[in-house]
Amino acid sequence: MEAANLMYLVIIGIGIFLLLIVSILLIFNTSRKRVLSEISERQQQELEFQQNLLKNNVETQERERSRISKELHDDIGSTLNVVNLSCNMLEATIANGNDPEIPLNQIRTSLNESIVRIRELAHVLYPPVLEKFGLQSALQSLVLSINRTGQVKINLEVGKDWGQMTLNEELNIYRLLQELINNTIKHAQASTIYISSNVEHDTIQMIYKDDGIGLPEDISLKEGMGMGNIRTRTTLLNADLEIKTELKKGVEFIISIPVKK
């Protein structure tokens, strides 16, 4: 009898042990599936993000190329056509024995206009002051040129203790702020822009804010207002972007950029 009871207890113990093993395997399998699903979802999100980043880069480049092409064709091309016509007029004037001063003046004026426009276009493509004197000087030059237009007043307070940055990183910061300023001028109806920075440990915290109408709640409208380009630049800088906005009360961008001391 005791042997039977002992055997019964052993069988129950084995059954419980097997049940525990099965339960552990089920839990492990379920957990593994969940982890694999989360990894797959994260990888998909990263892939979509990289695709969007590439798309934004390509769109930005194509938009810039289109703008440059239009500038060359409509502005500089037209001016050089005037030079060509003036050259024909000069030939006719000389052939007729008349004073060539008038067509020569027209040629000089048109050539000077073309030189100025080409220089302006070159500065837009790559500001020479950035390479020669650094990011702070380039930003000061940009702000000065915009303040002269009277469209908006920019207050710039950026420090110089920014650590070591490559020229490419400085250019990305420059383009990022340029994009933010352009968005404010185009969409925000603002009168004043404030740009400041401070350095904490190995991070530059750059603060950009305006006193405009703020960003809309519709995310699609936000993305259509240059936000894609802004996010692309922050990603290229490995920076964190925080946006604070309220309708009729402006917008604030806090950009945290890691740098090497």
* Side-chain-facing half-sphere of 172: CA atoms under 13 Å: 19
pLDDT score for 56: 67
Let me know: does 258 contact 169? Beta carbons within 8 Å: no
**Residue that is written with structure tokens 């990289």 in the block:** 50
Residues 147 and 116 in one domain: no
Closest CA to 231 of 183, 168, 188, 166: 183
pLDDT score for 61: 63
Residues 163 and 213 in one domain: yes
Domain boundary among 69, 98, 124: 124
Residues 242 and 154 in one domain: yes
Strand partners for 250: none
Please classify residue 2 by burial: count the beta carbons closer than 10 Å to its beta carbon, then call 0-12 exposed, 13-18 middle and 19+ buried.
Answer: exposed
Helix spans in 126-245 (H): 128-133, 135-149, 167-183, 219-222, 228-236
Let me know: does 152 contact 191? Beta carbons within 8 Å: yes
Domain boundary among 124, 144, 160: 124
pLDDT tens-digit map of 212-225: 888 776 544 445 55
Number of domains the chain is built from: 2
Residues 84 and 142 in one domain: no
Query: In which domain, by residue range, is 198 found?
Result: 133-258
| DSSP-derived secondary structure letter, 97 | T
Residues 193 and 249 in one domain: yes
Please classify residue 189 by burial: count the beta carbons closer than 10 Å to its beta carbon, then call 0-12 exposed, 13-18 middle and 19+ buried.
Answer: middle
Residues 198 and 219 in one domain: yes
pLDDT beneath 50: ranges in the chain: 219-222
Residues 247 and 137 in one domain: yes
Residues 8 and 120 in one domain: yes
pLDDT tens-digit map of 18-31: 677 777 767 767 76
Residues 35 and 116 in one domain: yes
Q: Ramachandran region of residue 32, left (φ > 0), alpha (ψ -120 to 50) or beta?
A: alpha
pLDDT score for 207: 94
Phi, psi (deg, nearest 5) at residue 225:
-105, 35
Residues 8 and 119 in one domain: yes
Domain boundary among 58, 90, 124: 124
Q: How far apart are CA 222 and CA 213, in angstroms?
A: 13
CATH number where 245 lies: 3.30.565.10
Q: How far apart are CA 153 and CA 188, in angstroms?
A: 13
Residues 161 and 249 in one domain: yes
Q: Which amino acid appears at position 167 of this protein?
A: L
pLDDT score for 226: 65
Residues 73 and 118 in one domain: yes
Whole-number Cα distances in Å, 103 to 62, 130, 193? 39, 39, 46
pTM of the predicted model as reported, rounded to 2 decimal places: 0.60
